[in-house]
Amino acid sequence: MPEPMGFFTDTTICIGCKACEVACKNWNQLPSDGGGIKEMSGDSYDNTVRLSGVNWRHVKFIEQFEGPYNGRWLMMSDVCKHCVQAGCLEVCPTGAIIRTQFDTVVIQSDVCNGCRACIAACPFGVIDVNPAAGTAQKCTLCYDRLEVGLEPACSKACPTDSIQFGTITELRTRAQKRVEQLQAQGEKRARLYGDDPNGPLGGLNSFYLLVDEPEVYGLPKDPQLPSRNLKRSGTFAAASGAVLGLLALVGLRKRRMDEIGGGGEGSQN
Amino acid sequence: MSDTFFTASPHWTWFIIPYFFVGGIAGGAYFLAALLQWFGRPEDRPVIRTGYSLAFWGAIISGALLTFDLGKPFRFWHMLFQSENFPNLMFKSWSPISFGAWAILLFGVCAAVSWYGSRAIDGPPKGGALLAKLVAAVGGLFGFFVAGYTGVLLSATNRPIWADSPWLGALFLVSGASTGAAALTVFAPEASDRTIRWLKSFDAQALVVELVVLIVFLASLGSVARVWLGFWGLVLLVGVVWTGILWPLRLHFKPAIAGGGFRNPALMVLLGGFLLRVVVLLASNSIAVHRVASGGGGGG
């Protein structure tokens, strides 16, 4: 059994070249948006806009400018987090979403029936339907490449090693050293997101080094499993059903008593 | 900002909204018909027949709507059987959409059996009465389950509004009961006056419970409730609260002003029940993935 594999993305050295997006599209033969007629987002150099069924990598451009000469760019290559406790895998009603021997999360397109429950369940907004396939799709962490000992296409193409691929144990050690290095250099905001196996979702097999709050990067502070509401929601629904059943029975009882009081017509069914 | 704002919409729209509505009516109508079968009188039989008929056709329509909504409709059976290990069953008790698929199937079977049995004019044949009641008891539970699990399904996601409150299951279930009762009064023309009076009385009580649960649901949203400050909030207030709950309640308590069209409380309850599903689904769907391009995502 291979060790859990994943990505460590150091956002401080991402230059927004989008080589990862291109490599991902190329290797996975993903179609273009809108048949190749691409509208510009109009508010950023980011024209991919978001992860989707045909964009499994998305380089976010976060512009923090208070004035024309006072600001910074944050760039982050976003991808499926391959959660150790994955919400998509939890809700999938067809068994299409599986955990692989590399501890990654993969959607089997030939099993998925496009119900889209996984889209609503993902706390990161990663999954979407690929209109060409009619099924939900997302990053597979290049499962086909991993099986033959190759590195995923995106990390292979990354020219700055912002996206690093390896065993989770090794990546966590490397990431911790990088945080210490940045903090020693004065970047006190440097922190890891998703590296803690005791943290939300049991840790993420694609984790990040950030230099601001997670929300700034469009990441939830405390991602959770969709099943967190299941017990309470089910209990409240059952309780309201019991109240209604009781009201209905009391109404029937009252009707019967009224009939008896009024002389009693007919007989009990 | 709630963490739910960082998620993507599943685009459950014009197949799922009518499914939630029809499923609620079917479940509520079956439950009431089952109660009448157990504790009612012979004069209730027309309503029992109508209830089972609504449930049967509701289950058929629900299944069809769910299937049409799939990206790959011919793979609908993947929800019931393991496609790679057929005929092993596919069932996840912790996934509402998985146990919901089974619940609709089993509810449909109960509805079909009950409807068939209820078509006998003088009631089920001798010896079949107990069996009919047992099927009605099981089907009644499935009925309430089908009416309510849709809300639980929405709560068991990570989407804004849906996952921000655990009260949607209760709200949809109560709404299913009130719309079920309303549908029975509309579609059971042979019903006796006493049965109709009981249905109207139950509907009024269900509407009061629905109003309470709706208020609790809105309060439980906390800061997320600000999403209602817009078009969908207006629809919720006018379409659901006024048209679907308060106005029919007024018509129930002042029958002298009731009549046809907008003065028919049952029709207003049905309209309100439909609009409830519309606002809950579309208000959340209208919230797109939070964009971070301008760096405005900070602050939490």
8 Å CB contact of B156 and A227: yes
Answer whether the bond into residue A131 is a cis peptide, omega within 30°. Answer: no
CATH code of the domain containing A114:
3.30.70.20
B159: in domain: yes
Classify residue B70: in a domain, yes or no. Answer: yes
Q: Is the pLDDT of residue B39 over 60?
A: yes
Q: What is the pLDDT of residue B297?
A: 42
Is there a domain that residue A203 lies in? yes
Sorting pLDDT into bands at 50, 70 and 90, what band is B254?
confident
Tell me, yes or no, whether B260 lies in a domain.
Answer: no
Q: So what's the pLDDT on residue B36?
A: 95
pLDDT at residue number A35: 76
Mutate to test the interface with A, among B37, B157, B213 (most CBs of A within 10 A): B157
In a domain, A269, yes or no: no
Query: Left if phi > 0, otherwise alpha if psi is -120 to 50, otherwise beta: which for B136?
Result: alpha
List strand residue ranges (DSSP E) for chain A, in order. Answer: 5-10, 58-67, 70-78, 97-99, 105-107, 128-130, 135-137, 163-167, 191-193, 206-210
Amino acid B118: pLDDT: 85
Residue A267 lies in a domain: no
pLDDT in tens, B6-20: 999 999 989 999 999
DSSP assignments along B113-144, one per residue: HHHHHHTSTT-SPTTHHHHHHHHHHHHHHHHH
pLDDT band at B35 (very low <50, low <70, confident <90, very high): very high
Question: What pLDDT was estimated at residue B33?
Answer: 96
- Are both A256 and A188 inside the same structural domain? no
Over the stretch B154-167, which tens digit does the pLDDT of each residue have?
999 999 999 999 99
Instruction: Decide: helix, strand or coil at residue A9.
Output: strand
pLDDT digits (tens, 9 = 90+) for A221-248: 999 999 999 999 999 999 999 999 999 9
pLDDT tens for each residue of B97-119: 999 999 999 999 999 999 998 87
Which CATH number characterizes residue B197's domain? 1.20.1630.10
Question: Is this structure's pTM higher than 0.90?
Answer: yes
What is the structure's pLDDT at A43? 76
Question: What is the reported pLDDT for A258?
Answer: 86
Same domain, A247 and A134: no
B98 chain-A contacts, CB cut-off 8 A:
91, 93
Task: Give the number of domains in chain A.
Answer: 2
Residues A83, A208, single domain; the answer is yes
> What value does the mean pLDDT take over residues B244-272?
90
Task: Please check whether residues A133 and A207 belong to one and the same domain.
Answer: yes
Q: Are B107 and B180 in contact (CB under 8 A)?
A: no
pLDDT of A240 reads 96
**Could you count the other beta carbons within 10 Å of the beta carbon of residue B73?**
14
Looking at the domain assignment, is residue A268 inside a domain? no
Provide the residue range defining the domain that includes A247: 228-261
Which one of A94, A107, A124, A257 makes the best mutation probe of the B interface by having the most chain B beta carbons within 10 Å?
A94
In a domain, A266, yes or no: no
Tokens of A53: 């069924």
- Residue identified by tokens 């290797």 is A27
Cβ(B98)–Cβ(A133) below 8 Å: no
The answer to whether residue A58 sits within a structural domain is: yes
**Is residue A186 located within the same domain as residue A246?**
no
**Same domain flag for A130 and A233:** no
Question: SS3 string of B30-82?
Answer: HHHHHHHHHHCCHHHHHHHHHHHHHHHHHHHHHHHHHHHHCCCHHHHHHHCEC
Q: Which residues contact B125 (CB under 8 A, 6 or more apart)?
A: none
How would you class A95 by CB atoms within 10 Å of its CB: exposed for 0-12, middle for 13-18, buried for 19 or more?
buried
CA nearest A242 in B: which residue? B144
Contact between chains at A91 and B168 (C-beta distance less than 8 A): no
B72 in contact with A, Cβ within 8 Å? yes
Rounded Cα–Cα distance for residues A129 and B244 (Å): 35
**A206 shares its domain with A254:** no
Taking the CA of residue B279 and the nearest CA in chain A, the distance in Å comes to 17
Structure tokens at A100: 């692989």
pLDDT at B273: 97
Residue B53 included in any domain? yes
A108 lies in the same domain as A130: yes
Q: How many domains does chain B fold into?
A: 1
pLDDT given at position B258: 75
Q: What is the pLDDT of residue B298?
A: 39
Q: Find the domain containing B150 and state its range.
A: 3-204
B152 lies within 8 A of chain A by CB? yes
User: Which residues in chain A land under pLDDT 70?
Assistant: 263-269
Picking from B114-128, B220-234, B269-283, which range would have the lowest pLDDT averaged per residue?
B114-128
Q: Flag if B168 and A233 touch (Cβ within 8 Å).
A: yes
Q: What is the ipTM of this complex?
A: 0.93
